[in-house]
Amino acid sequence: MRFDIVTLFPELFAPFVSLGVTRRAYELGAVTLNFWNPRDYASGVYRRVDDRPFGGGPGMVMMAEPLALCVQAIQASRHAANAAAAPVILFSPVGQTLTHEGVAHWAGSDGAILVCGRYEGVDQRFIDEVVTHQISLGDFVLSGGEIAALALLDAVARLQPGVLNDAQSHALDSFNPELGGLLDCPHYTRPEIWRDLEVPAVLMSGHHAQIDLWRDEQRRKLTAQHRPDLLPLAVQTSSIKKKSSPSKT
C-alpha cells in the first residue's frame, strides 16, 4: 500500500522508517511512503504556505492553494503509477478518534494521502473541497499532524504480514475484536521473583488451559477497572461468536 504524506517537515519521519520492528514493513515493500512539501507548490519568492487569519486572532493559517496543488500532484502521480485516486486524510481535533477498527480499515486499504497541518489550522475551504476523512488521536492538540501521521503509520505497519516476529502477536493486542475488544492481560518475564514480587503461580504451572483462563479473567478485570466502556462491546462480540459456533449434536 502507498501513503503520500504532505508535510513541511519530512525529516521527522526518517528515524521511523529505519528503526524498530515496523521498519520491516518498508524494507519488505508492504508499505511505501512518499513525502511532499506544500512549499514546493507555493507561489512567490518566499514560497509562503501560511498567512494571517481573516477576522483577526493569534497564529497563522495554512493556505488552501499550495495544499490543493500538492494533493493534485499526488493524485496525478498515483494515476501515472496505475494506482487509484486516494482518500485524503487530515489530522484534526474535529476528526473521528482513531481506534483499532479504524487502523484495521487503513491496514487493509490501498493507502491514503496524509495531510499534516501546522500553525493555527488549515483554510476551511481546502478541508471542504479536498479532504475526505478527518482523524484525531484524542482530545488534545499537537503542534502539527506529523505525530498523528506517525501513529497511524506505525499501527498500520505492524499489522502487515511478516512485520512482527510472531504473526499472532497483534491478534492478542488490546482492543482486538478477536479477544472481544478487551484490554490485554498483564505480562511477566524473568526473574521469577523481582524485589520480593513473584510471578503469578498459574503462569509457572505449564497448564495451558488454566493459563488461558487466567489471562481471559485478567483481561476482563483490567477492562472493567480501567475501560468499562469497552465491556458492552466484549459482551456483544461474545454473543456473536456463540451464535456463529456450530451446534453440538
Residue 210 lies in a domain: yes
Residues 6+ apart with CB under 8 A from 176: 100, 170
Residue 184 and residue 146 share a domain: no
CA atoms within 13 A on the CB side of 185: 18
Residue 138 and residue 63 share a domain: yes
C-alpha cell, 154:
506505525
In this structure, of 132-136, 164-168, 195-199, the range with the lowest mean pLDDT score is 164-168
pTM of the entire structure?
0.88
CB 199 within 8 A of CB 192: yes
Residue 239 is predicted with a pLDDT of 45
Residue 218 belongs to a domain with what CATH number? 1.10.1270.20
Return the closest-CA partner of residue 8 out of 93, 86, 88, 66: 66
Residue 98 and residue 196 share a domain: no
Per-residue pLDDT, averaged over 136-162, amounts to: 95
pLDDT band for position 235 (50/70/90)? Answer: low
Per-residue pLDDT, averaged over 121-125, amounts to: 97
Residue 152 and residue 68 share a domain: yes
Residues 6+ apart with CB under 8 A from 186: 218, 222
pLDDT band for position 237 (50/70/90)? Answer: low
Cα 183 to the center of its chain, rounded Å: 17
Residue 218 and residue 138 share a domain: no
Residue 132 and residue 33 share a domain: yes
> Has residue 12 got a pLDDT over 90?
yes
Strands 197-198 and 121-122: unpaired
> Has residue 170 got a pLDDT over 90?
no
Residue 135 and residue 235 share a domain: no
Residue 21 and residue 65 share a domain: yes
What total of structural domains would you count in the chain? 2
pLDDT band for position 179 (50/70/90)? Answer: confident
- Which three-class secondary structure state does DSSP give residue 126? helix
CB 180 within 8 A of CB 239: no
Residue 244 is predicted with a pLDDT of 47
Burial class of residue 134, CB neighbours in 10 A (0-12, 13-18, 19+): middle
d(CA 211, CA 204): 9
Q: How many CB atoms lie within 10 A of CB 49?
A: 22
Residue 182 and residue 81 share a domain: no
Residue 99 lies in a domain: yes
What residue numbers bound the domain in which 194 lies?
174-244
- Which three-class secondary structure state does DSSP give residue 91? strand
- Hey, which residues are catalytic here? 93, 120, 158, 173
pLDDT band for position 241 (50/70/90)? Answer: very low
**Please, what is the average pLDDT of the chain?**
92
Per-residue pLDDT, averaged over 22-37, amounts to: 94
Residue type at position 175:
F
Stronger pLDDT, 242 or 208, i.e. the higher one = 208
Residue 95 lies in a domain: yes
Residue 43 is predicted with a pLDDT of 94
> Has residue 234 got a pLDDT over 80?
no
d(CA 109, CA 173): 20
Where does a domain end: 157, 182, 216? 157
Residue 167 lies in a domain: no
Per-residue pLDDT, averaged over 27-45, amounts to: 95
Q: Give the pLDDT confidence of 47-99 residue by residue, as tens digits.
A: 999 999 999 999 999 999 999 999 999 999 999 999 989 999 999 999 999 99
Residue 109 belongs to a domain with what CATH number? 3.40.1280.10
CB 160 within 8 A of CB 106: no
